[in-house]
Chain A
Amino acid sequence: MDNEKNRAEMPWEEKREERFRRWLAPSGVTYDTPAAETAYRERVTRFIRALKLEKPDRVPVVLPASFFPAHYAGMTLRDVMYDYARLKRAWLKFLREFDSDSYTAPGLVYPGRVLDAIDYRLYTWPGHGQPDDMPSYQYVEGEYMKPDEYDAFLRDPLDYALRYYLPRTMGVFEPFQKLGPFTAAFGAPIRMMSLAANPRVQQVFRALAGAGREWSRWQKTVREISRAALAAGFPAFRGGVCVAPFDTFADTLRGTQGIIMDMYRQPDKLHEAMERMVPFTVESAVDSSGASASPLVFIPLHKGDDTFMSGKQFEKFYWPTLRKVLLGLIDEGLVPMLFAEGRYNHRLEQVTDLPRASVLWHFDQTDMAEAKRLLGGSQCIAGNIPTSVLVTGTPGDVKEYCRQLIETCAPGGGYILTGGAAIDKGNPDNLRAVMAAAREYGVYRK
């Protein structure tokens, strides 16, 4: 009890130090060699110093490779989505053959059989709505929440999720559409048994149990790969994950068309719903961070960029609830990693109201000189080798691009070298050139 009280009163910096210490020395790891252990500490220290706007020994690198390990091993994404042994082989091969400062386990290479079994509708993937050799899956935007359903959401978000959202996004849950409110359990919980007696509901749970067993087989493989990476001395960079409240509604509930109608026709309902999401978003990000030693919370930002909305709309619709989520995460000692997809040139001066050195901004196509000038003094920045250079350029092109980036962004510390976005295919030597550039041009002189 005392401990909890102390923790609540602790300044966020101290809570973060606690998480940094855990990242530096994760429990239960047996390193392959003493050298691997030393290298692990060096790598994590490099990231921590950059995040705190200090100078590390050299510029740290996150290789911009998402599903690339499959391609590198001569496999398709479909192969590794459906065969966990091959998934493991491909990711371990990549681990052994590429030098980097971190390692990304295939936690986003979702198991194809589970997606099939639950009839997942938010993605198309190779062999399912896409050719077998497609190197990535794609998100299917839709109006999964109708314009007149904000009240149902606000009244009871969980009930809304169970009876409206899940049945629309995962076919397996369709029978839930026909049920009465789950919140009816209060008062006489025994009534829930009539649900369990419903043959269609039983079917849902049977299907979920089967898909769940498959999911756990996949998870086991991902864990084995993560453990192997740690043992070899490569820290995990991404820990937890969450989404900006505006994107929750714009991407996954209302769709682009729908959210824009709401901005004009029912802005108050939208604001209320986004506010409602803030505590859930923080809680689920903290929860999803639990499995990883890394304190970084990955937050892909979509519909707040320069082209999606005006500065005024960003200030009104996007930033306030996102900022609350960020402050909530920071207060937990976590480090939000904001992946600003698209361009954030006009946002750089709008996002300065956060504690110093508390988040990481990963930019995609933002002007890095401006990012360094306007944000570099207050937050760590990362980015942004264009995927076009990584995919269509030569290793020489990549190295030269990285040299210029380092020259622009590295002075004084607080910079991580990585891609604008990640690549799924291309010349492996282009990825090696990123690391070579950091070693050659990114060393900080004492």
Chain B
Amino acid sequence: MSGDFANLLADLKEDEVIKLTKQRLDSGEDPMKILEDSRKGMELVGKRFADGEYFLPELVFSGELLKQVTEIVKPHITETTSDAKRRGKVVLGTVAGDIHDIGLNIVDFMLDVNGFQVYNLGVDVPAARFVAKVKETGAPIVGLSGFLTPAFDAMKETVEALDKAGLRGKVKIMIGGGQMDDEVRKYARADAYGKDAMAAVTLAKKWTGAS
């Protein structure tokens, strides 16, 4: 049954997933088990995305299904369990002056389903907030997202701010999105450019020695 649940979620069968969630709760099953199956389902979605079978619509819709399942299950959870062991921490955000978030959220999704602890700072993030978040979390990886050409300079300034704060040697920085490419990576003095969310996962795994 748990395999079915993960598959139904990965196949985006909204009605069946919701029905089954309620059935399992009614039959007195451990709600944590349902969340664990949901996580497996999301991993399948991530895998299909990486294989080129799924695209943005599937990611977003599966996220919506997960949200519904979580909302149904939440009131039934009494124990507080610690998060499953995570591969490593990543601070993510769209750089200052840029308000695009679609690519940012895809990278967040893919890192998350691949076991990373993601701190997503959202859009139009000033360099100082990246610095503060890296200090606070001790994350060894920073992901800078941007869509527009003005983001070239904002990325450069963010890398410089991390440098000035004495953190440059402690973090690996990847960039991606819209008009970014390896030329911009050089210009901003980041460590790597990722052309899509799978590249972000590969880089993060490489940098945490988890590949």
| Residue from A124, A264, A389 whose CB has the most chain B CB atoms within 10 Å | A264
Identify the stretch in B54-62, B129-137, B163-171 within 8 Å (CB) of chain A at 4 or more residues: B54-62
Please determine whether B150 and A424 come into contact, CB atoms closer than 8 angstroms.
yes
Please determine whether B183 and A309 come into contact, CB atoms closer than 8 angstroms.
no
Chain A residues near B53: list those with CB within 8 A.
310
Please determine whether B55 and A140 come into contact, CB atoms closer than 8 angstroms.
no
Q: Whole-angstrom distance between the alpha carbons of A307 and B61 in the complex?
A: 15
| Residue from B61, B150, B180 whose CB has the most chain A CB atoms within 10 Å | B150
Q: Mark B169-189, 1 if CB is under 8 A from A, else 0.
A: 000000000011111101100
Question: Which of A138, A256, A392, A420 lies in contact with B60, CB distance below 8 A?
Answer: A256
Please determine whether A392 and B179 come into contact, CB atoms closer than 8 angstroms.
no
A308 interface contact, C-beta 8 A: yes
Question: Which of A134, A136, A392 lies in contact with B152, CB distance below 8 A?
Answer: A392
Chain B residues near A393: list those with CB within 8 A.
183
B25 interface contact, C-beta 8 A: no
| Contact flag A261-B64 (CB < 8 Å), given A134-B150, A391-B152 | yes
Chain A residues near B148: list those with CB within 8 A.
136, 138
| Residue from A138, A256, A265 whose CB has the most chain B CB atoms within 10 Å | A138
Nearest A residue to B185, CB-CB: A388
Whole-angstrom distance from the CB of A244 to the nearest CB of chain B?
A: 16
Please determine whether B61 and A260 come into contact, CB atoms closer than 8 angstroms.
yes
Q: Mark B59-88, 1 if CB is under 8 A from A, else 0.
A: 011001000000000000000000000000
- Chain A interface size band reads 20 to 34
Please determine whether B55 and A392 come into contact, CB atoms closer than 8 angstroms.
no
Q: Whole-angstrom distance between the alpha carbons of A136 and B179 in the complex?
A: 14
Q: Whole-angstrom distance between the alpha carbons of A308 and B196 in the complex?
A: 12
Please determine whether B55 and A313 come into contact, CB atoms closer than 8 angstroms.
yes
Question: Which of A135, A257, A261, A388 lies in contact with B187, CB distance below 8 A?
Answer: A388
A425 interface contact, C-beta 8 A: yes
Please determine whether A388 and B61 come into contact, CB atoms closer than 8 angstroms.
no
B98 interface contact, C-beta 8 A: yes
**Total residue contacts A-B, CB cutoff 8 A:** 80
Chain A residues near B187: list those with CB within 8 A.
388, 391-392
Q: Whole-angstrom distance between the alpha carbons of A135 and B103 in the complex?
A: 22
A386 interface contact, C-beta 8 A: yes
| Contact flag A310-B55 (CB < 8 Å), given A140-B99, A257-B60, A391-B149 | yes
Q: Whole-angstrom distance between the alpha carbons of A100 and B85 in the complex?
A: 59
Chain A residues near B57: list those with CB within 8 A.
260, 263-264, 308-310, 313
Q: Mark A417-441, 1 if CB is under 8 A from B, else 0.
A: 0001101110000000000000000
Q: Whole-angstrom distance between the alpha carbons of A313 and B183 in the complex?
A: 32
Nearest A residue to B149, CB-CB: A387
| Contact flag A388-B152 (CB < 8 Å), given A130-B97, A131-B97, A260-B61 | yes
Q: Whole-angstrom distance between the alpha carbons of A392 and B188 in the complex?
A: 10
Q: Mark B148-164, 1 if CB is under 8 A from A, else 0.
A: 11101000000000000
Please determine whether B179 and A307 come into contact, CB atoms closer than 8 angstroms.
no
Q: Mark B38-65, 1 if CB is under 8 A from A, else 0.
A: 0000000000000001111100110010
B14 interface contact, C-beta 8 A: yes
Apart from A256-B102, A310-B53, 7 more pairs, CB < 8 Å: A256-B56, A264-B12, A264-B14, A387-B149, A387-B179, A421-B149, A421-B179
Residues of B within 8 A of A (CB): 12, 14, 53-57, 60-61, 64, 97-100, 102-103, 148-150, 152, 179-184, 186-187, 196
